[in-house]
Amino acid sequence: MDNNQLAHMVASRWPAKAVRGVATNRMLEAAGLTHKVLTAAVARQLVVRLHRGAYVQGTEWWNLTPWARDDVALIAHVLASLSSGVYSHSSAARLHGLRTWGCGATVHVTHGQTPGHANGGARTSVHQQALDAGHVVMKRIGPVQVPVTSMAQTVLDCARLFRLEHAVIIGDHAVRKGLLIPDLQRLLEASEVKRGSARAKRTLDFLDPLSESAGESRMRVFLAATKLPMPELQVTITTRHGVHRADFAWREFRLILEFDGWGKYFDYRPTAEAIALERQREKDLMELGWSFIRISWSDLNDPAALEARIRAALLRAGATLPARRTTFFA
């Protein structure tokens, strides 16, 4: 069978019940994709094996962003691993639909006692921690139901394990979804797990339900590290064309900091209309004396240069600032 014939067979028979494009051996066999066909398709990269017994079509896999691949690889683990543990940490965060960034592709599974056989694969991290029944929920992923740490437990586990900015992204989204920070604090205080508790407390102190994106969460952690004056989040400003909202603003200096995740402009309107509306918004605000700093995701990769830009803008706006002595969070 040549490549075109094989590709057509795979695409036409790929199971409709695949979850996020992931199909198990059982699904594939039922669709008429035999082991022999599947082996040939994997060899020719028409199909990618994500986990023993779980596959995705190559065309779909290679078009995914790196972070979307992490999500799909987790789905493959859930469908095929038959893990006896509870999905936890960043894996639980993904299954709860929380934003994650920088947590890696590792699948995290927690057991109440040391497992005799992890059955997870090379990219699985196995944790040992006693979990009360109230800290575990069941999630349906396609045809299977799997145990997952509760959203509150997930936030604390991530706060204990990951770097501050990674944990804050997860925690911000959880409290934006309705999780209460005082409840998280009580859960942390009542926990018998002491390792990482100081890291978790620092994370909880940072959480803010007003943070609307992973970029805004990272930006808040960055700004705290600079020791510069902290801006307000989601500031509403009335102009002659109505009320506009800024991601961050220093009211006393009439300085706005915008995190430009361009999806917020273009996801809901045609590009030309979105650009025109954003230009009008900026003109309205500038007429009232506001100035702007626009930050993109890549700017956070050079924190020293970014701090210098923000410091310079604050000084131009009339701020009196301490000497620069930044130690960025680990």
Mean pLDDT computed over 17-24? 95
Distances from the Cα of 18 to the Cα of 28, 54, 55, 79, angstroms: 9, 10, 9, 10
Mean pLDDT computed over 51-65? 95
Mean pLDDT computed over 47-70? 94
> Model confidence at 325, in pLDDT bands (50, 70, 90)?
low
Question: pLDDT tens digits for 106-165?
Answer: 999 999 876 655 555 668 999 999 998 899 999 999 999 999 999 999 999 999 999 999
Mean pLDDT computed over 5-33? 94
Question: pLDDT tens digits for 195-220?
Answer: 999 999 999 999 999 999 999 999 99
Percent of the chain having pLDDT more than 90? 74
Whether 48 has a pLDDT exceeding 90, the answer reads yes
Mean pLDDT computed over 30-40? 93
3-state secondary structure of 295: strand
Strand order in the sheet with 232-239: 232-239, 242-250, 255-259, 291-295
DSSP 70-108: HHHHHHHHHHHS--SSEE-HHHHHHHTT----SS-S-EE
What percent of the residues of the chain are helix, what percent strand, and what percent coil, each to the nearest 5? 45, 20, 35
Whether 268 has a pLDDT exceeding 50, the answer reads no
Strands (E), 268-314: 291-295
Distance of alpha carbon 308 from alpha carbon 303, whole angstroms? 9
Question: pLDDT tens digits for 89-110?
Answer: 999 999 999 999 999 899 999 9
67, amino acid identity = W
